[in-house]
Amino acid sequence: MITEYNSQPTPKTELELDIDRLSYGPYGIGRSDGKAIMVPHSAPGDRVIARLIETKERYAVGEIVTVVTPSALRQIPACPYVGDCGGCTWQHIGYPEQLKAKQQSVADALRRIGKLDNFDLKPIIASPSAEHYRRRIRLQVSAVKRLGFFSGGSHHVVEIDNCLIAAEPLSAAIAPLRTWLDKIAATIDHIEIASGDEPGQTVVIAAANDRLNSSDEALCAKLASSPNAIDGVIVQAGEWRKTWGQPAIAVQLQDDLALKLDADTFTQVNAAANRLMLRELMSAAGFAKADRVLELYAGAGNFTLAMAKQAGEITAVEGSRSAVASGKLNGQRNGIDNIRWNCAPVPRALAQLKQQRQTFNKIVLDPPRIGAKGIEADIAALGAAKIFYISCNPTTLARDLAALSQSGFKLQSVQPIDFFPHTFHVETLAVMTR
């Protein structure tokens, strides 16, 4: 007996929806029969026909078939790659509405995930610029040496000639980089371009699959020395690393304070917003000579040096050896000698400090997006009266603040700052006391 199966796909459900808000993510949210429908590229106030592409128990994901009535909050994106490139998923929405949605994302995470209340959520501080604000971008290289960004939800590379949110020196480097890629024999996985706060500081950081041969090294030397938009080249392949030209950049923190470090050391992408965050931290913490401060995830000293100029003593914990080396060197350059650098993973360093019965009266931490889960008990054991938690992810921030609240701390205030216009990402400074 032959059984015939219908090989045609089941037609996907289409719904007419009113989009009422943005989520923490690339989606607008509508509702159907009480279920949240998440629709990318939509805006609050849109009426859309959406086709469901994924259905879960509590929510579904759709895609726009037609915008029946466009929202008054929509704007025409200035970037020609919107819709193809996977970045800037909110560029079709006016900047004031983006800020409003980010403020709400922080509030929702703290109250719904963290179950936190009775704190001061301050109005979000806008990025000083919504365009050309990034001093660092990461470009992907396809198998046929196309250079650009991944398309949303895929590894398809969308070729670009410039980027609306990148600082202008970064976009100027793309054309000579494309020529270099065509000539080089090595396989390059991705390329970062970083620029400093001083002229002549545009550096290429390329991730190669193996050490370069002599011909490729000559091409790197030529790229860094030619009269083009690139001042330095760094190529890395596992533990192998080589530089050409000028690989260092300057990061201006305050009028009288700057970092100088190799461009492949982590720095915040939005220079002006980073200075705003530093200003807010210094104001909230009010460091004084009597303070013994512990800084976790210190990086290369983005906050460390400014704090050390006011506090009595800083213990700075950072897992990256190159970042610690940069931090030490910049302390020497700026005549700062009250920083104790501890190059170790944060959990291990905290356990050691606890075992040594070390105490601090203020703790500052700026973890990666995954947050600082599981260290709250050791933090609480160090005796600090105040915690200043800087975060780029409201979800993990809410989780960690909730854990700290169970260890005796109380959330006092949260200050959102927009480092990433046209995306859903947002930075925050949370202050806790006990």
| Helix H or strand E segment including 281 | helix 271-285
> From the candidates 79, 85, 343, 392, which is the catalytic residue?
392
Q: What CATH number does the domain located at 14-74 have?
A: 2.40.50.140
In the chain, where the domains are located:
14-74, 99-128+270-433, 136-249
Strands 136-141 and 120-121: unpaired
Q: Tens digit of pLDDT for each residue in 293-337?
A: 999 999 999 999 999 999 999 999 999 999 999 999 999 999 999
**88 catalytic residue (yes or no):** no
pTM of the model: 0.93
Q: Which two tokens stand for residue 46?
A: 């849109």
Minimum mean pLDDT range among 82-86, 143-147, 261-265:
82-86
Residue identified by tokens 């109380």 is 410
Over the stretch 257-282, which tens digit does the pLDDT of each residue have? 999 999 999 999 999 999 999 999 99
Res. 6: pLDDT tops 70:
no
Furthest CA-CA distance within the chain: 88
Altogether, the residues listed in the chain come to a count of 434
Which class would CATH give 99-128+270-433?
A: alpha beta
> With respect to CATH, is domain 136-249 assigned 2.40.50.1070?
yes
Nearest Cα to 233, choosing from 161, 176, 189?
176
Are the folds of 14-74 and 136-249 the same? yes
Residue type, 102: K
C-alpha to C-alpha distance for 51 and 30, rounded to whole angstroms: 13
